[in-house]
Amino acid sequence: MQKPSTILFLLVLLSLGSFLFALSVGSLPLSFADILQTLTGDGSQISKTVVFELRLPRAYVAFITGALLSLAGMLMQVLLRNPLADPYILGVSGGASVGAMLAISAGFASTLVSMSAFLGALFSIALVFALAHGRGSWNPSRLLLTGVVIASGWGALINFILSLSPNQSLKGMLFWMMGDLSFAHSEQLTNPVLPLILITGLLLSLIMARSLNVLSRGEMQASALGVSLRPLRLSLFLLASALTAIAVTQAGSIGFVGLIVPHMMRLLISSDHRWLAPACVLAGGSLLLLSDTLARTIIAPEQLPVGVITAFIGVPLFLYLLSRGYQQQVTP
């Protein structure tokens, strides 16, 4: 196994490479030289429009969304100490979807759809929190079951809305649910909220990181080794939910990134959360950015839902790492 710092450096290169790839491919192919020229202020008007109005905003939102999702997935997995946990397991995306679909069926524009999705996510977080922490003792299985039940409740509500919706809004709704980054626009480039949220999330995760290492050995053991469980659990739950809510608001419920990137990084780099958190941010961002670039180019001018591509890339990659990981364990 390589040193964690080497792998982290390679992931930084991968992220930069993904950005270059995303800026260069499309209906108007741009060479790396063109991109460099455009980014430094030179370049033709058309390439400026393509880069700054279309590709860069979308790449930027894709990267941050992927990073948020995989960070949230990592936090959820430790909180529930369940390898099957993903950012959506506690119903945040279900709540957001219902909010978004109500807004879409009311005919609102994309900003209002996002706001409505965010409100739906917050409502779902509050609901799960109140029900799981309400009375009696707190434990991961109670939180997990509460979240899963709420999530399936949202699922039923989504099907209900879908079955009543007229045809013209159906495609929008389905794309939203599978994840769609085409809402990204150039104003987002100058808005510092998204990167600030990501950086805050990463910093908070790093502060908690060593406690998370201990928490993966079980709550009792963590407590015995000096971790105050109550505040840690609460911050984990709130942080993971908030990051998920922001991600879902940006791009709908893109599946798979939040489940698989944390596992890939555990196999690739370490289970130490101080390495895992930044690795998840870089790898999650790159995976979603590459997937989205493929999603908009493979059958251009038609677009595929990005969630489909994350799965197409992620499934074989994950299975490969898994088998490699087990081989390493068998022959130490």
Partner 1 sequence: MSLLSTENLKIKISNTRVCDELNIECKESEVWGILGRNGKGKTTLLHTLAGLHPIECGGINLQNKNLSGLNRKQIAQQLGILLQQHENSFPCSVLETVITGRHPHISNWQWENKNDYAIAEDALKSVQLSHLANRPINQLSGGERQRVAIATLIAQNPEILLLDEPNSHLDLKYQIQILDYLCHHTKQHQKTILMTLHDLNLAARYCDKLILLLGDGKTLIGNTKELLSEENLFKLYDYPVKRIKSDNQIIFSAY
Establish if 225 lies at the interface with partner 1 (CB under 8 A).
Answer: yes
Establish if 27 lies at the interface with partner 1 (CB under 8 A).
Answer: no
Tell me whether residue 110 or residue 216 sits nearer to partner 1 (CB atom): 216
Establish if 233 lies at the interface with partner 1 (CB under 8 A).
Answer: no
- Positive or negative torsion for Cα 314, 317, 320, 324: negative
Binders of partner 1 among residues 247 to 306 (CB under 8 A) are 266-267, 270-272, 274
Question: Alpha carbon 239 to chain centroid distance?
Answer: 13
Tell me whether residue 155 or residue 325 sits nearer to partner 1 (CB atom): 325
Binders of partner 1 among residues 151 to 210 (CB under 8 A) are 207, 210
- The residue among 160, 103, 99 whose CA lies nearest residue 125 is 99
Find the shortest distance in angstroms from Cβ 104 to partner 1: 38
Tell me whether residue 61 or residue 79 sits nearer to partner 1 (CB atom): 79
Find the shortest distance in angstroms from Cβ 1 to partner 1: 9
Find the shortest distance in angstroms from Cβ 215 to partner 1: 9
For partner 1, which stretch binds (CB under 8 A), given 120-128, 186-194, 216-224, 247-255? 216-224
Establish if 325 lies at the interface with partner 1 (CB under 8 A).
Answer: yes
Establish if 323 lies at the interface with partner 1 (CB under 8 A).
Answer: no
Establish if 214 lies at the interface with partner 1 (CB under 8 A).
Answer: yes
- The residue among 131, 147, 143 whose CA lies nearest residue 94 is 147
Report how far apart, in Å, the C-alpha atoms of 52 and of each of 25, 46, 205, 235, 296 are: 14, 10, 32, 37, 17
Establish if 220 lies at the interface with partner 1 (CB under 8 A).
Answer: yes
Give the one residue of 216, 235, 297, 303 binding partner 1; rule: CB under 8 A: 216
Establish if 218 lies at the interface with partner 1 (CB under 8 A).
Answer: yes
Tell me whether residue 29 or residue 218 sits nearer to partner 1 (CB atom): 218
Establish if 227 lies at the interface with partner 1 (CB under 8 A).
Answer: yes
Residues that bind partner 1 (CB under 8 A): 77-78, 81-83, 207, 210-211, 213-214, 216-218, 220-221, 223-229, 266-267, 270-272, 274, 325, 329, 332
